[in-house]
């Protein structure tokens, strides 16, 4: 196999999914293949890009999903692999840029894994499994927190003693790989707002929002952990710390029970008592389902206003990720709540769901831009290989 046949393999490990993509070493080339194992731990399904078909697989964990991929003939883990690239959600205070992972790096990632218990441990498990399968092949660790490390101090700190800040208790922000992609995509897809003040809403089962000024993050809705900010599929979002004290003091809940509750039993699932899937909730007449959707919309719009204050104004809005890219009703309801800022929704464009979704007379433009975290990881991995 020639040098041009070598590939970068990207693994984007979630709590219940494993996205994958293989790229040639040629910069910005389209992926050779991509797909996802979804529903891990339940009714897992293997999906390939370009195909509507799904295939049931046995995958009780992301590591088991990786083993499924390794067994596929001509799958993502075949061929001449030059390097693996991994999404690592939390890099802590020190890992503020992508790195080729060594033992010391993995130890540092493990040290901050309690701050991202749904993501860091599973990503490390996949990475270490691949190290055993492919000895000598380098691994790039690309951090969701890195893109936000330039925040001003007032957006980076909590109102707690400085000693705790120095120990790493600070606002990190997440979904940075997604925001990094959007910041770059705006330069070609929405040049009229790319250099301005833009709120980007990464709305999915995990959800956050980011304030971009000239493509740089200056504030984010998420903080110390990926629990903060917007309500999510099963995560609570922002919550008065007194609620945690009350659960422990009055109900006698252990730390482990509180952690499981906040990550798995809250958000859209907890509010509705029905589902974590916004599509199910939008199709339901149940009062609590309607309340959960309205709560999600309300806090998305509320956060947009707060981030506009962080930037000292707003020139544009971008929806991305699963809900942001695919839910026209949610986009419409958010922008209708933001009409006071100058958004004028184009209903037909919103239903189409790509590009500009506000009318020509809208004082501020809103767009839908699909994100591509795997592309960012591939870019970072290729750059790290080139710098060795």
Reported confidence tier of residue 381, pLDDT bands at 50, 70, 90: very high
Q: In what order do the strands lie in the sheet with 33-38?
A: 54-56, 45-48, 33-38, 17-24, 7-13, 81-88, 139-143, 99-100
The confidence score (pLDDT) of residue 48 equals 85
Low-confidence winner among 63-77, 191-205, 316-330 (lowest mean pLDDT): 63-77
DSSP-assigned states of every residue in 163-193: HHHHTT-S-----HHHHHHHHHHHHHH-HHH
What Rg do the C-alpha atoms of the chain give, in angstroms? Answer: 21
Is 192-368 assigned to CATH 3.30.420.40?
A: yes
Superfamily of domain 3-150: ATPase, nucleotide binding domain (3.30.420.40)
Residue 37 pLDDT greater than 70, yes or no: yes
Amino acid 2: pLDDT: 39
Cβ neighbours of residue 351 closer than 8 Å, sequence gap 6 or more:
328
Q: Return the pLDDT at 116.
A: 87
pLDDT at 41: 83
Is 346 assigned a catalytic role?
A: no
Tens-place pLDDT, residues 2-19: 344 789 999 999 877 899
Tens-digit pLDDT profile for residues 359-372? 999 999 999 999 99
- What is residue 166's predicted lDDT score, i.e. its pLDDT? 93
Q: Which of 144, 219, 228, 315 is catalytic?
A: 144
> Average pLDDT of 234-242?
96
Would you state the pLDDT for residue 4? 46
Q: Tell me if domain 3-150 and domain 192-368 are identical in fold.
A: yes
> Residues 46-74: pLDDT tens digits?
988 866 778 888 888 899 999 999 998 88
Domain boundaries, the chain: 3-150, 192-368
């Amino acid at each position: 196999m020639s040098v041009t046949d070598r590939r970068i393999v990207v693994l984007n490990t979630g709590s219940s999914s494993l996205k994958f993509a293989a790229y040639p070493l040629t910069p910005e080339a389209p992926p050779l293949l991509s797909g996802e194992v979804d529903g891990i731990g339940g009714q897992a399904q293997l999906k390939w890009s370009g195909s509507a078909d799904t295939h049931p697989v046995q995958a009780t964990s992301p590591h088991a999903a990786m083993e499924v991929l390794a067994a596929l003939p001509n799958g993502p883990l075949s061929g001449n692999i030059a390097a693996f690239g991994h999404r690592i959600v939390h890099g802590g205070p020190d890992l503020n840029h992508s790195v080729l992972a060594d033992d010391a790096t993995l130890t540092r990632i493990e040290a901050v894994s309690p701050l991202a218990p749904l993501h860091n441990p599973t990503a490390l498990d996949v990475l270490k499994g691949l190290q055993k399968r492919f000895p000598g092949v380098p691994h790039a660790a690309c951090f969701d927190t890195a893109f936000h490390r330039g925040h001003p101090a007032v957006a980076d700190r909590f109102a707690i003693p400085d000693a705790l800040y120095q120990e790493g208790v600070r606002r990190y922000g997440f979904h940075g790989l997604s925001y990094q992609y959007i910041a770059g995509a705006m330069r070609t897809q929405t040049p009229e707002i790319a250099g301005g003040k833009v709120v980007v809403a990464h709305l999915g089962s995990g959800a956050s929002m980011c304030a971009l000024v000239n493509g740089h993050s200056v504030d984010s809705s998420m903080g110390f952990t990926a629990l903060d900010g917007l309500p999510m599929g099963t995560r609570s979002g922002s919550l008065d710390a007194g609620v945690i004290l009350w659960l422990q003091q009055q109900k006698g809940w252990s730390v482990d029970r509180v952690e499981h509750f906040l990550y798995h039993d809250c958000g859209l699932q907890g509010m509705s008592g029905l589902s974590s899937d916004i599509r199910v909730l939008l199709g339901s007449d149940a009062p609590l389902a309607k309340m959960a959707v309205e709560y999600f919309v309300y806090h998305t719009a509320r956060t947009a206003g707060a981030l506009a204050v962080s930037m000292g104004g707003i020139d544009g809005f971008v929806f991305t990720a699963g809900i942001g890219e695919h839910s026209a009703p949610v986009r419409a309801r958010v922008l209708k709540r933001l009409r006071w800022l100058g958004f004028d929704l184009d209903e037909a464009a919103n239903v189409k769901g790509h590009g500009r979704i506000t009318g020509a007379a809208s004082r501020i433009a809103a767009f839908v831009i699909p994100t591509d975290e795997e592309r960012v990881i591939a870019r970072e991995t290729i750059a790290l290989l080139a710098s060795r």
